[in-house]
């Protein structure tokens, strides 16, 4: 749209945090609009089904045909490693001429009548619009609400298994499988080169 965009990143470099992501058709539609869907599907996996199983006895509870979902919504359901998606988005930003700046920790935001100002150790930067995506302990959130984050008391453990080892146990590498049980769930899906389990 011809807008000048400047991204201020606290980290020393742009990189991924985490493991795999499941991207539903409402999101892959946006990636398609941005011209990134082909790259994302080439780097990710388009599973055949979303299967829900009982975590206690392994029985199948229900199944969603993701090919049918693609027909219904017009876009695929994709699983991809977070670093692959981040890399795709980073390359798109570079192609679009986004000014990507690292090692800048924003300490405050100020609202003015014709824009906003970002404050950091290097000074102040004014812009017509500021979008703050500054995480759980957001500096920007305090402008709206001074509440504190509340722990959900849920913990997620993630792991990756090399594909060769994953093929030796009974799992479907073509499906996203969700095992649901008392006070817990387990998600299994494959990414390029490894089986991922959450």
| Catalytic hit among 154, 157, 179, 189 | 189
Alpha-carbon gap, residue 133 to 167, rounded angstroms? 39
Strands (E), the chain: 6-8, 20-23, 49-54, 60-65, 78-81, 99-101, 106-112, 115-120, 123-127, 159-162, 175-181, 184-191, 194-197
Counted residue by residue, the chain has a size of 198
Has 189 been annotated as catalytic?
Answer: yes
From the CA atom positions of the chain, what is the Rg in Å?
Answer: 21
Catalytic residues: 189
């Amino acid at each position: 749209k011809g807008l000048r965009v400047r991204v201020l990143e606290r980290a020393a470099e742009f990189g991924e945090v985490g493991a795999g992501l499941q991207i539903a058709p409402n999101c892959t539609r946006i990636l398609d609009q941005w011209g990134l869907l082909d790259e994302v599907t080439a780097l990710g996996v388009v599973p055949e089904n979303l299967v829900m199983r009982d975590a206690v006895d392994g029985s199948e509870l229900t199944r969603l045909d993701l090919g049918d979902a693609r027909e219904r919504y017009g876009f695929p359901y994709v699983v991809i490693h977070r670093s692959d998606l981040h890399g795709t988005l980073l390359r798109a930003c570079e192609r679009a001429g986004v000014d990507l700046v690292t090692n800048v920790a924003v300490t405050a935001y100020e609202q003015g009548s014709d824009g906003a100002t970002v404050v950091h150790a290097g000074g102040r930067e004014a812009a017509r619009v500021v979008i703050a995506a500054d995480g759980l302990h957001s500096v920007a959130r305090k402008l709206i609400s001074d509440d504190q984050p509340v722990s959900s008391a849920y913990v997620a453990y993630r792991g990756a298994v090399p594909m060769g080892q994953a093929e030796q146990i009974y799992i479907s590498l073509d499906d996203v499988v969700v095992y649901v049980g008392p006070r817990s769930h387990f998600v299994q899906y494959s990414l390029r080169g490894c089986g991922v389990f959450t």
